[in-house]
Amino acid sequence: MTDAYDPTPDDRFSFGLWTVGNPGRDPFGAATRPVADPNHLVRKLAACGAWGVNLHDDDLVPFGSSAAERDLIVARFKATLVAEGMVVPMATTNLFAHPVFKDGAFTSNDPQVRAFAYAKTMAGIDLGVELGAETYVFWGGREGTEADACRDPRDAVKRMRDAIDFLCGYVKDQGYDLRFALEAKPNEPRGDMYFPTTGHMLHFISTLQHEEMVGVNPEVAHEHMAGLSFVQGVAQAIEAGKLFHIDLNAQRIGRYDQDLRFGSEDLKQAFLLVRLLEGTAAAASASGTGDAGVDHSRYDGPRHFDAHAYRTEDEEGVWHFARGCMRTYKILAARARAFDADPRVQAFTAGAGHGTDVLPLLSGYDADKAAALRALEVDVNAIGARGLGYERLDQLMTEYMLGVAG
Ligand code: GCO
Ligand code: MN
Ligand code: MN
């Protein structure tokens, strides 16, 4: 089937090698699909309409390969990328699989482990840059605890800062054009992970030596595992100018880390997320309920899926999964555009800003403004009695999502 929702490279959709290459292994059972060659995955992704492919160092160059083996693998992979017109927008380091990292990498109590993690990351950065990556992700897979008395969490924070500051120094020293994106997760595989949410990461970034180089890579599943609103977390990152990358998937609150096909759970959050990323409400927000000076525009980074097919699937199911992620994103984008173009929605956002005459008093403190605010007569009873129309608005949104309206 070919229609307007089929993905094309212009949509800037990307997948990790580890996502479409996931062989279906879980804690209770062995792989249900063969391990795929990265070059094969690139060819299949290109055929699906994807634009980019991301990787951990070890996804492409197996752990322990010699320098000569590495160069051969990388040369072959580059040739495939060129032949397929695919790019590598993001790369990252596997600091979680080898047993040496069983108690963390950058936060380990053992300085030798930390040293090895720095060196592995520098080599991974070189690899990513060689393949054209502009973003380098840090997901602290093993940075956490089960036995909390093993380390003071304040030391873990300081060690993580030392590592990121050091690696920013490395990137600058090499003259690389690369930004870092930090990915939070509350648990799994560790009982508790350090920096469990995007909010924790945003504050941590403000303490870094080169904070302008560092942003976040929020993931739908990770914020939902913590029971939080992903849309609100992403919005805070955008408002701070820190949304450098994003991991799209689906997840039910209160479950293990599911990494489901984008939009396959909680369609309402998925709709609101796509609406936010696509900036479809930009004009309405700016003229009505929104504030001047806030960036309501479209997110221009990659749309990356960090998800995998159900364990029940064979290879054909994997490509249905990949197409499904991209199609659902595009369908939701079209629905969001229609919703925000609806005159009823526009009338709502335009009409919702009452009492705009006091706006100049609400920013930039001075004593006169403070006095004016204290003298202001606000009709609290009239405002308190006013219905806001949110039931109507939310139902309208539901009907757009269900394809009845618009
Ligand atoms: C997970 C994470 C990872 C990271 C990846 C890139 O829950 O396993 O989301 O998939 O995103 O390692 O850093
Ligand atoms: Mn994840
Ligand atoms: Mn992720």
As averages over each run of 10 residues, the pLDDT of the chain (406 residues) reads 92 98 97 98 98 98 98 98 98 98 98 98 98 98 97 98 99 98 98 98 98 98 97 97 98 95 97 97 67 85 98 98 98 97 87 73 96 96 93 97 94
Residues forming the active site: 56, 59
Q: For residue 123, which of 79, 74, 87 has the smallest C-alpha distance?
A: 74
Question: Other CB atoms closer than 10 Å to residue 45's CB: what's the count?
Answer: 23
**Residue 300 shares a structural domain with residue 366:** no
- Ion ligand 3 nearby residues (CB, 5 A): 219, 247, 306
**Residue 204 shares a structural domain with residue 235:** yes
Of 125, 244, 247, the one to substitute when testing ligand 1's pocket (max ligand atoms within 8 A of C-beta) is: 247
Find where tokens 């090499």 sit. Answer: 174
Tell whether 342 is covered by a domain: no
Distance, CA 105 to ligand 3 centroid (Å)? 17
- Ion ligand 2 nearby residues (CB, 5 A): 219
Q: Where in 289-394 does DSSP place strands (E)?
A: 303-305
Of 15, 95, 219, the one to substitute when testing ligand 1's pocket (max ligand atoms within 8 A of C-beta) is: 219
| pTM, entire model | 0.96
Tell whether 406 is covered by a domain: no
- Pairing mode, strands 214-216 and 179-183: parallel
- Concatenated DSSP letters of 361-386: GGSS--HHHHHHHHH----HHHHHH-
Structural contact between residues 398 and 391, judged by C-beta atoms closer than 8 angstroms: no
Tell whether 2 is covered by a domain: no
What is the number of the ligand 1 atom nearest to the C-alpha of 18? 10
**pLDDT of 282:** 76
Could you read off the pLDDT of 350-376 as tens digits, one per residue? 765 566 789 899 999 999 999 999 999
What is the number of the ligand 1 atom nearest to the C-alpha of 54? 6
**pLDDT of 347:** 85
Task: Name the β-bridge partners of 184.
Answer: none
Tell whether 4 is covered by a domain: no
What is the number of the ligand 1 atom nearest to the C-alpha of 257? 7
| Ligand 1 pocket, CB under 6 A | 92, 137, 139, 183, 185, 219, 247, 257, 306
Domain count, the chain: 2
**pLDDT of 286:** 58
Tell whether 35 is covered by a domain: yes
Distance, CA 169 to ligand 3 centroid (Å)? 25
**pLDDT of 227:** 96
CA-to-CA distance for 16 and 19, rounded, in angstroms? 5
**pLDDT of 226:** 96
**pLDDT of 1:** 58
What is the number of the ligand 1 atom nearest to the C-alpha of 94? 12
Q: Whose CA is closest to atom 13 on ligand 1? A: 139
**Residue 328 shares a structural domain with residue 364:** no
**Residue 379 shares a structural domain with residue 323:** no
Q: Whose CA is closest to atom 1 on ligand 1? A: 141
Tell whether 261 is covered by a domain: yes
Q: In which domain, by residue range, is 204 found?
A: 9-336
